[in-house]
C-alpha cells in the first residue's frame, strides 16, 4: 500500500499544480483584457483634449487597474491608435508555481472609436 501511494501521490500532486497553474493563467488573461477595456473607456471620453492626453489617460487608467489587481510585471501601450479609434494593448507575465521558470506572456487588447463632440448646427 505505501509503495503504490509513494508512486501515485507525486502524480496527483503534479496534476493538482497543473490545474491551479491553468487557472492562474486564465485569470491573468481576464485581468489583462479588463485593464485594456478600462483604458479604452478612459481614453475615448476625455472631452476636448489632445490625442496625446487621451492616450496618456488610457494608459494611466489601465496601469491603475493592474496595480489594484496586484499585477507586478506588465506593459501598457496605445500603439495602433488613430484620430478616429483608440487601441490599448496590455501585456503581462503570469506568476508560475514552479520557481525559477518564466511563463508565457499574455497579450490582450481592446479597441473602440473615439468620441468626438460636435456643436449642433445653428439654423436661422
Residue-wise pLDDT for 6-41, tens only, equals 888 888 998 998 899 999 999 999 999 999 999 999
Q: Which of 19-23, 77-81, 96-100, 111-115 has the weakest average pLDDT? A: 96-100
In a domain, 119, yes or no: no
In a domain, 36, yes or no: yes
pLDDT, residue 1, reads: 66
Contacts 24+ apart (CB under 8 A), 44-48: 44/86, 44/112, 44/113, 44/114, 44/115, 45/115, 47/117, 48/117
Residue 114 has a pLDDT of: 86
Does the pLDDT of residue 4 top 90, yes or no?
A: no
**pTM, entire model:** 0.82
123 is a domain residue = no
User: Is residue 11 one of the residues assigned to a domain?
Assistant: yes
Domain total of the chain: 1
Cβ(52)–Cβ(95) under 8 Å? no
Outline where DSSP puts E strands in 12-79. 74-77
Contact 106, 25 (CB under 8 A): yes
Residue 70 lies in a domain: yes
Domain CATH number, residue 35: 3.10.450
In a domain, 82, yes or no: yes
Q: Is the pLDDT score of 101 beyond 70?
A: yes
Q: Which of 112, 117, 116 has the alpha carbon at shortest distance from 40?
A: 112
Q: Is residue 122 part of a domain?
A: no
From the CB of residue 19, how many other CB atoms can be counted at a distance below 10 Å? 10
User: 88, 110 in Cβ contact below 8 A?
Assistant: yes
Domain assignment present for residue 55? The answer is yes
Tell me which residue range forms the domain holding 44: 2-113
81: confidence class by pLDDT, cuts 50, 70, 90: confident
Amino acid at each position: 500500500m505505501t509503495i503504490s501511494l509513494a508512486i501515485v501521490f507525486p502524480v496527483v500532486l503534479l496534476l493538482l499544480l497543473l490545474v491551479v497553474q491553468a487557472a492562474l493563467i486564465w485569470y491573468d488573461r481576464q485581468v489583462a483584457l479588463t485593464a485594456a477595456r478600462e483604458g479604452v473607456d478612459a481614453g475615448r471620453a476625455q472631452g476636448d483634449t489632445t490625442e496625446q492626453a487621451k492616450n496618456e489617460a488610457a494608459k494611466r487608467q489601465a496601469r491603475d487597474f493592474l496595480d489594484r489587481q496586484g499585477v507586478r510585471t506588465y506593459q501598457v501601450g496605445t500603439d495602433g491608435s488613430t484620430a478616429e479609434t483608440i487601441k490599448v494593448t496590455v501585456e503581462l507575465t503570469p506568476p508560475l508555481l514552479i520557481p525559477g521558470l518564466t511563463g508565457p506572456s499574455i497579450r490582450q487588447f481592446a479597441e473602440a472609436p473615439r468620441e468626438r463632440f460636435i456643436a449642433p448646427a445653428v439654423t436661422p
